[in-house]
C-alpha cells in the first residue's frame, strides 16, 4: 500500500482507527515516517485469515512479550474504546465481581493485564468462616481456583478440612492463628487429618500461637500436608512430649515430610518447647532442609545441655543436615551477654552441617543497659566470648562457609559512640575479617533505621 508524502490512504486511516483507540489523524499526515501499518486490512475475509495456535495463558504470570506473541490479531468491527484515564479503567475492572469475566478482560491487552494483577492478588487471600466460604463458592465456583491463601482458626479447622477437602484446588499457603482462643488446642482427629491430606497444593504452612496436646499430634498434623516445603511457627508448642524413647520423626508416617525452609520464633509467651529439636534431629529432613531460621528470647532453645539431653533421650545420632546452606540465629540479649553468646556456641557445636555456606547471627540488645557491650573496656567478658565464637567459626567445622553476617542490633547511643571510632584491629572477629568472610553491622535502638557497616568483604570469596 503506497502513498505520497503528505497524503493518507482513506482505507488505511479507517483501518488504523479501529486498530488503535489512541488514533489521531493529525499524527499520520506529516510524512511517511509517521505512518504506521494497520493491524489488519478490512478487505480480507475472515476465512482467509489463518489464526496461530496458542494455549491459554495466565495473565498474572506472563510478561508483555509472551502475551503479545501468543495472542492472535482478530479482525474486529465497531467503535474504538473511549479514551479514559487509566485510573477509571482500574475502577471499572475492580467493579467486576465475576472472576471469569475479569480474567477475560485481563486477556484482552497488556494494559488490562497489568491493572488486573493487583486486583486478583488482593482476592487470592481469604479469612472467613466456613459458612461464609461455602456460600461464596456456590455463588462463584471460580473462586476455588483463584484462592491461594486461606486463614482459619483452630476451632474451625476440623470442620473446614472436612468440608473443603478437594474443593480448593490452588491453595498454596495455609495460615492458622490461635491468638483468638489460646485455650483451644490444635489436635485434629483421624478424619480431619485424612481430609488435610487432600490439600495437595499446600506448600507453605504458618502456625501462630497454636497449641497441640502432644508432640505426636503436632508432627502428625505437619505430615498431613504431603507437599509441604515451607514451615513457619510462632509461639507454637505442645503440652506434653509423649514420643517415648524413640523420636516421633523416626516413625514411618514422618518420612513423607520434606521441608526445605523452617522458621521458628518464640517470645516470652511461649515456654521452652522441643518442637524444633524434633525437626532439627530428624533423619527425613537431613536430605531436604536448606534454610533454618531461629528467633528466640530464651537461651534454653539454643542451650547445649538442653540439646544434649534431648539427643541422648530420643536420637541415636545427630542427623547430618547435608543440604543446609543457610542458617540464621536471632537471639534477644535480655540476659547476660556472655550467656547468650555461649548458647549460640553450644548450638553451633550441636548441629552437623558441613555444607553450610551462609551464616547470620543477630544479637538484639534492646533490653540491656547502656555501655553494656562497650569494647573499649578490656575487662568486658563479651570480648572473650566473641573471640571464642570467632575461633569456632575459623575451625574446620564449617569448611564451605562463604559469608558470615553478624549484627548487633538496637545498641544504645553511648555504645555506638565507643564502637564507631575503633580501629579495625580492635573490633571483634579478627579471623573472619582476615578471611574476608565477615560483615559486621550495628544499629541504633532509637531510630532502628540507622545502620553502620564496620567490616565487610572487599571482594566475594571464590
What is the DSSP annotation of 402-437?
-EEEEEEEEE-HHHHHHHTT--GGGSS-HHHHHTT-
Coil/strand/helix, residue 106: helix
* Residue 119 Cα distances to 33, 101, 361, angstroms: 39, 13, 38
Q: Which pLDDT value is given to residue 301?
A: 59
Say what percent of the chain tops pLDDT 90: 12
- pLDDT class of 190 with cuts at 50, 70, 90: confident
Which is more confidently placed, 14 or 212?
Answer: 212
Question: 270 or 383, which is more confident?
Answer: 383
* Beta-strand pair 211-214/125-126: unpaired
Using 50, 70 and 90 to split pLDDT, how confident is the model at 448?
Answer: low
> What pLDDT, on the 0 to 100 scale, is given for residue 351?
81
The 10s digit of each residue's pLDDT in 79-118 is 555 677 878 888 888 787 776 787 788 888 888 888 877 7
| Mean pLDDT of the 47-75 span | 44
Per residue in 317-336, pLDDT tens? 556 788 999 999 988 776 56
Lowest mean pLDDT, pick from 23-27, 306-310, 399-403? 23-27
What pLDDT is stored for residue 312 in this prediction? 52
Q: Are 31 and 5 in contact (CB under 8 A)?
A: yes
Dihedral sign for Cα atoms in the order 56, 62, 64, 69: negative
**What number of residues does the chain have?**
462
**Residue 346 above 90 pLDDT?**
no
pLDDT confidence bin for 274, thresholds 50/70/90: low
| Helix, strand or coil, per DSSP, at residue 334 | coil
Does 283 have pLDDT greater than 60?
Answer: yes
- Give backbone dihedrals phi and psi of 188, rounded to 5 degrees, phi first: -65, 145
Nine-digit cell string for 120 = 486478583
How far apart CA 307 and CA 313 sit, in angstroms, is: 10
Q: How far apart are CA 122 and CA 398, in angstroms?
A: 43
pLDDT for the residue 327: 93
What is the DSSP code string of 362-403?
EEE-TTSPTTSS-TT-TT-HHHHHHHHHHHHHTSTTSTT--E
Hey, what's the cell of 265?
520464633
pLDDT band at 27 (very low <50, low <70, confident <90, very high): very low
Q: Which residues of 312-336 are buried (b: 16+ CB within 10 A; e: fewer)?
A: eebbeeebebeebbbbbbbbbbeee
pLDDT at 64 over 60: no
Nearest to 227 by CA among 253, 206, 197: 197
pLDDT at position 57: 43
Residue found by looking up cell 486463614 in the block: 151
In which band, very low, low, confident or very high, does the pLDDT at 342 lie, cut at 50, 70 and 90?
confident
Q: What is the pLDDT of residues 368-409, one digit of tens each?
A: 555 455 544 544 667 788 888 999 998 888 889 999 999 988
Residue 67 predicted with pLDDT over 70: no
Considering only residues 26 and 247, tell me which one the structure prediction assigns the higher pLDDT.
Answer: 247
pLDDT of the residue at 282 = 75
**Which of the two residues, 40 and 407, has the higher pLDDT score?**
407
What does the DSSP assignment read for 77-103? -SPPPP---HHHHHHHHHT---HHHHH
The 10s digit of each residue's pLDDT in 404-447 is 999 988 877 777 887 888 888 788 888 888 888 899 998 887 66
pLDDT at 231: 94
Question: What's the grid cell of residue 99?
Answer: 472472576
Task: List the one residue out of 292, 290, 223 whose CA is nearest residue 263.
Answer: 292
Mean pLDDT lowest for which of 153-157, 197-201, 251-255, 396-400? Answer: 251-255
3-state secondary structure of 254: helix
- Identify which has the larger pLDDT, 418 or 313: 418
- Mean per-residue pLDDT of the chain: 72
Confidence category of residue 459, pLDDT binned at 50, 70, 90: very low
Higher pLDDT, 242 or 133: 133
Predicted local distance difference test score (pLDDT) of residue 364: 83
Pairing label, strands 403-411, 149-152: unpaired
pLDDT(273) > 50: yes
Ordered by start, the domain boundaries in the chain are 84-123
How far, in Å, are 14, 22, 427, 460 from residue 19 at the CA level?
9, 9, 67, 53
Could you report how far apart the first and last alpha carbons of the chain are, in Å? 60
Q: Say if residues 8 and 28 touch (Cβ distance below 8 Å).
A: yes
pLDDT tier, 214 (very low <50, low <70, confident <90, very high otherwise)? confident
Query: What's 25's DSSP letter?
Result: G
- Burial of 407 per CB tally in 10 Å (0-12, 13-18, 19+): middle
32 vs 150 pLDDT, higher one? 150
Q: Are 279 and 285 in contact (CB under 8 A)?
A: yes
Rounded to 5°, angle at Cα 33 from 32 and 37: 80
What strands, in cross-sheet order, belong to the sheet with 261-266? Answer: 125-126, 149-152, 173-177, 204-208, 230-234, 261-266, 291-296, 326-332, 358-364, 403-411, 438-444, 451-455
29: confidence class by pLDDT, cuts 50, 70, 90: very low
CB 264 within 8 A of CB 295: yes
The conformation of residue 35, written as its DSSP 8-state character, comes to P
Global pTM value: 0.69
Spell out the residues 6+ positions from residue 259 whose beta carbon is closer than 8 angstroms to its own.
Answer: 228, 229, 230, 231, 279, 285, 288, 289
185 CB contacts (<8 Å, ≥6 apart)?
154, 211, 212, 213, 239
Greater pLDDT, 208 or 453 = 208
Band (pLDDT 50/70/90 cuts) for residue 291 is very high
Amino acid at each position: 500500500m503506497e502513498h505520497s508524502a503528505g497524503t493518507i490512504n482513506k482505507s488505511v486511516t479507517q483501518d488504523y482507527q479501529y486498530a488503535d483507540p489512541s488514533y489521531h489523524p493529525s499524527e499520520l499526515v506529516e510524512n511517511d515516517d509517521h505512518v504506521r501499518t494497520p493491524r489488519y486490512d478490512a478487505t480480507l475475509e475472515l476465512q482467509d485469515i489463518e489464526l496461530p495456535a496458542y494455549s491459554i495463558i495466565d495473565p498474572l504470570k506472563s510478561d508483555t512479550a509472551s502475551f503479545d506473541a501468543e495472542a492472535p490479531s482478530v479482525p474486529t468491527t465497531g467503535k474504538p474504546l473511549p479514551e479514559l484515564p487509566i485510573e477509571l479503567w482500574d475502577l471499572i475492572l475492580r467493579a467486576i465481581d465475576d472472576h471469569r469475566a475479569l480474567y477475560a478482560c485481563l486477556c484482552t491487552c497488556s494494559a488490562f493485564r497489568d491493572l488486573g494483577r493487583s486486583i486478583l492478588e488482593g482476592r487470592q487471600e481469604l479469612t472467613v468462616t466456613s459458612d461464609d466460604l461455602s456460600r461464596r463458592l456456590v455463588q462463584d465456583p471460580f473462586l476455588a481456583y483463584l484462592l491461594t491463601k486461606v486463614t482459619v482458626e483452630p476451632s474451625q479447622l476440623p470442620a473446614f478440612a472436612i468440608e473443603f477437602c478437594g474443593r480448593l484446588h490452588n491453595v498454596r499457603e495455609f495460615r492458622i492463628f490461635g491468638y483468638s482462643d489460646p485455650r483451644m488446642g490444635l489436635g485434629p482427629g483421624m478424619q480431619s487429618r485424612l481430609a488435610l491430606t487432600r490439600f495437595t497444593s499446600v506448600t507453605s504452612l504458618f502456625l501462630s500461637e497454636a497449641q497441640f496436646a502432644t508432640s505426636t499430634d503436632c508432627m502428625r498434623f505437619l505430615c498431613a500436608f504431603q507437599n509441604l516445603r515451607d514451615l513457619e511457627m510462632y509461639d507454637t508448642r505442645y503440652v506434653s512430649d509423649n514420643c517415648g524413647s524413640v523420636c516421633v520423626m523416626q516413625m514411618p508416617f514422618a518420612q513423607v515430610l520434606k521441608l526445605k525452609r523452617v522458621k521458628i520464633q518464640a517470645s516470652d509467651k511461649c515456654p521452652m518447647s522441643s518442637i524444633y529439636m524434633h525437626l532439627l534431629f530428624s533423619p527425613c529432613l537431613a536430605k531436604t532442609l536448606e534454610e533454618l531460621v531461629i528467633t528466640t528470647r530464651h537461651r534454653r532453645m539454643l542451650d547445649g545441655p538442653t540439646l544434649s539431653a534431648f539427643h541422648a533421650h530420643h536420637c541415636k545420632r545427630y542427623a547430618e543436615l547435608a543440604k543446609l546452606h543457610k542458617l540464621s540465629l536471632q537471639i534477644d540479649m535480655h540476659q547476660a551477654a556472655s550467656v547468650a553468646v555461649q548458647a549460640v556456641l553450644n548450638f553451633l557445636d550441636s548441629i552437623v552441617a558441613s555444607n553450610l555456606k551462609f551464616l547470620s547471627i543477630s544479637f538484639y540488645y534492646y533490653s540491656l543497659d547502656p555501655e553494656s557491650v562497650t569494647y573499649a573496656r578490656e575487662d568486658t567478658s563479651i570480648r572473650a566470648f566473641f573471640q571464642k565464637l570467632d575461633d569456632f567459626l575459623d575451625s574446620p567445622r564449617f569448611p564451605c562457609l562463604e559469608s558470615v553476617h553478624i549484627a548487633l542490633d538496637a545498641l544504645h547511643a553511648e555504645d555506638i559512640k565507643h564502637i564507631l571510632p575503633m580501629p579495625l584491629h580492635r573490633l571483634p572477629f579478627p579471623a573472619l575479617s582476615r578471611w574476608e568472610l565477615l560483615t559486621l553491622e550495628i544499629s541504633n535502638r532509637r531510630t532502628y533505621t540507622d545502620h553502620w557497616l564496620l567490616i565487610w568483604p572487599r571482594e566475594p570469596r571464590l
